[in-house]
Amino acid sequence: MNLNFTKMHGIGNDFIVFDAINQQVELTTDQVRLLADRRFGIGCDQLLLVEATDSPNVDFRYRIYNADGSEVEQCGNGARCFARFVRDKGLTDKETITVETASGTIHLTVDESGLVSVDMGVPHLEPAEIPFEAEAQAVSYAIEVDEMVMEFGVVSMGNPHAVLRVSEIDQAPVEELGPLIESHPRFPQRVNVGFMQVVARDHIQLRVFERGAGETLACGTGACAAVVVGILQGELDSMVRVTLPGGELMISWPQMGAPVVMIGPATRVFEGSIDL
Ligand SMILES: N[C@@H](CCC[C@H](N)C(=O)O)C(=O)O
């Protein structure tokens, strides 16, 4: 099977994107892992499939696979690249694109400067919806990790996130704690782990250890989750600049029950084809 692909990134969170409308793309878990491998394959944090849909009032279906081959519900940086891809490839000329994901429908808008704004939907805070094992919903939860008890905010942006406040982002124990929290028994579907330093009420620094991919240069849903947690904990205003290792995103969440909006760039790197 020979497949055409586009390599893209959203502030350094990188993707292989396949048009699965004009070519048949059926990948096994092992093939996803191989494609994502930075030495034996193309290399990416996530692989994205652009598919057609029969759902009314929806333009496309968006499927997402982590580098470890697992299919996941949502990807914020990927959503911006998705919008750029379908317009660059002439699959649509709409400015606002409605896309079905495994966790619901999202709306993507490309502006004249090329920035993409994504309505990421309403965050889920109820533990069972995340999913997270806890007796009741709270703004922070004490979780025991490696014989230490730490306070996390926990939220789903369609995919699960745990957010830990740190005082120095450069010293954050991402590599040590990330894998332990990712597979913590209280998260039955594993979890993405954010390390957040609050710089000011409208600015945070963030590093994310992603479920199924390890630490990435940026995580869009992680940025949304961190801002929601920071607002709920009374530390942040409703519009926040998020500085990640690969660049910056603007995230806004006006109030409880409202959708989170993310604005940021989407970059095409190169086109290619690969035999599988
Ligand atoms: N990089 C993404 C998130 C990708 C999925 C995540 N690793 C998960 O398993 O939920 C983003 O930009 O949101």
Q: What is the CATH number of the domain that holds 159?
A: 3.10.310.10
Mean pLDDT of 1-21: 97
pLDDT of residue 169: 98
Rounded to the nearest angstrom, the distance between the alpha carbon of 74 and the centre of ligand 1 is 6
CB 152 within 8 A of CB 143: yes
SS3 74: coil
Domain boundary (51, 83, 117) is at 117
Rounded to the nearest angstrom, the distance between the alpha carbon of 66 and the centre of ligand 1 is 7
**Residues with catalytic function:** 75, 219
Which residue from 86, 63, 87 is spatially nearest to 75, judged by alpha carbons?
63
What total number of domains does the chain contain? Answer: 2
**CB contact set of 88 (below 8 Å; sequence gap of 6+):** 268
- Probe residue for ligand 1, chosen from 132, 192, 228 as the CB with the greatest number of ligand atoms within 8 Å: 192
Categorize the per-residue pLDDT at 233 as very low, low, confident or very high, splitting at 50, 70 and 90.
very high
Distance of CA 194 to the CA centre of its chain: 11
CB 260 within 8 A of CB 222: no
Mean pLDDT of 160-186: 98
Kindly state the tokens that stand for 136.
């009741």
Kindly state the tokens that stand for 100.
């079905």
Tell me which DSSP letter residue 181 carries: H
In this structure, is residue 189 part of a structural domain?
yes
Same domain, 107 and 154: no
Same domain, 184 and 137: yes
Cα–Cα distance for residue pair 12/5, rounded to 1 Å: 18
Across the chain, mean pLDDT equals 97
Categorize the per-residue pLDDT at 170 as very low, low, confident or very high, splitting at 50, 70 and 90.
very high
Give the chain's largest Cα–Cα span: 54
Categorize the per-residue pLDDT at 2 as very low, low, confident or very high, splitting at 50, 70 and 90.
very high
pLDDT of residue 39: 98
Domain that includes residue 209, residue range: 127-264
Mean pLDDT of 162-189: 98
Sign of the dihedral defined by the CA atoms of residues 127, 198, 191, 10, in that order: positive
Same domain, 58 and 138: no
Rounded to the nearest angstrom, the distance between the alpha carbon of 8 and the centre of ligand 1 is 15
Tens-digit pLDDT profile for residues 90-148: 999 999 999 999 999 999 999 989 899 999 999 999 999 999 999 999 999 999 998 99
Categorize the per-residue pLDDT at 217 as very low, low, confident or very high, splitting at 50, 70 and 90.
very high
Ligand 1 nearest-atom number relative to CA 220: 12
The protein residue whose alpha carbon is closest to atom 5 in ligand 1 is 75
Same domain, 182 and 248: yes
- Probe residue for ligand 1, chosen from 68, 72, 206 as the CB with the greatest number of ligand atoms within 8 Å: 72
DSSP state string for 190-245:
--EEEEEEEEETTEEEEEEEETTTEEES--HHHHHHHHHHHHHTT---SEEEEEET
